[in-house]
Amino acid sequence: MSVAIHGLSQALADAVAEAFRADGYELGEPADIVVVGVESPSGVDLLDLSHASWDAAIADARTAFFSMQQAARSIVAQGNGGCLLVVVPVHALRTSRGCGPAAVVGSFLATAAQVAAVELGAKGIRVNVLAVGPLEGEADPRAADAVPLGRLTRPADVGAACVMLAGTAAGYLTGTVVPIDGGYVVTKAAGGSPFVGA
C-alpha cells in the first residue's frame, strides 16, 4: 500500500507521512491511499475580505478538487481500489467570526468528497473527510478553553486519524466527515455551554 500526500501544510504533511511510515506504509506514486488537503485560509470578516484573498481561497479549493480527481483516476487505473482522505478546516462543520474563507472552502470540498464517495464506491474507492480543529502553533491558544479534551489539535492527531481511516478497520466507512478536533465542534464554548463563562 502506497501513500501520497497533496496540499497539506508542511507540519501536517510531515505528521501524516510519519504516521503512515510508522504503520508500515510506503510513501510514493502511484498511490492507492491519497491524502488531499487545503491550508486553512487566514481569515478576516467577509465584509473586509479582499478579492485577492477570496480568489486565493478558491484557487486552493480548485487545486484540491483536481488533486482528488487525479488521485481517483489513478486508483481506478490501477484497478485495486483505494482510499481518498480529504483534510479540511473544521469550520466546514461550524463556522466562526473571521473564518468565512475556511468555512466556504471546507464546506465546498467536504460536499465534493461526499459526491465522489457516492460515485466511486462501486469502484472500490472510499472517500472520507477529516475536519481538523484549530491547530497548536497556529490558532490562538485560548481557543483550547473551548475544546472538551482541553488542548488544540496536534498534527500527530491528524496523522493518526488518517491511518485509522485508511486502514481495514475503516473498510466500510465512506462519505463520512470526521471531526479531528478534541470535541471542539460539539460546543465551541468555553466550559461547554455558551451560558457558562470560563
Partner 1 sequence: MTGAARERGIGRGIATCLAEEGCDVAINDVGAEGEAAGLVADLEGLGRRAAFFPADVSDRAAVDEMIAAVESELGPIDIVCSNAGVADWQGFLDVTEESFDRLVSVNLTGAFNVCQGAAAAMVAAGRPGKIVVTSSVHVQMPFAEMSVYGATKAGLKGMVETMAIELAPHGITANHIGPGWVRSFINDSSPSLQTDEEVRSTLELIPAGRPADPRELGRAAVYLCSADGDYVTGEYLRVDGGFVVGKY
Binding region for partner 1 (CB under 8 A): 45-47, 49, 51, 54-55, 58, 61-62, 65-66, 69, 72-73, 76, 91-92, 95-100, 102-112, 114-116, 118-120
Q: How many angstroms separate the most distant Cα atoms in the chain?
A: 55
CB of 190 vs partner 1, minimal distance in Å: 17
Distance CA 187, CA 190 (A): 8
108 is written with which cell numbers?
Answer: 465546498
User: Which of 6, 7, 29, 5 minimizes the C-alpha distance to 19?
Assistant: 5
Q: Which is nearer to partner 1, 17 or 88 (CB)?
A: 88
How far CA 156 is from CA of 17, 87, 111, in Å, comes to: 10, 13, 25
Q: Which is nearer to partner 1, 46 or 164 (CB)?
A: 46
CB of 111 vs partner 1, minimal distance in Å: 4
Residue linked to cell 480529504: 86
CB of 191 vs partner 1, minimal distance in Å: 20
Q: Which is nearer to partner 1, 4 or 88 (CB)?
A: 88
CB of 10 vs partner 1, minimal distance in Å: 25
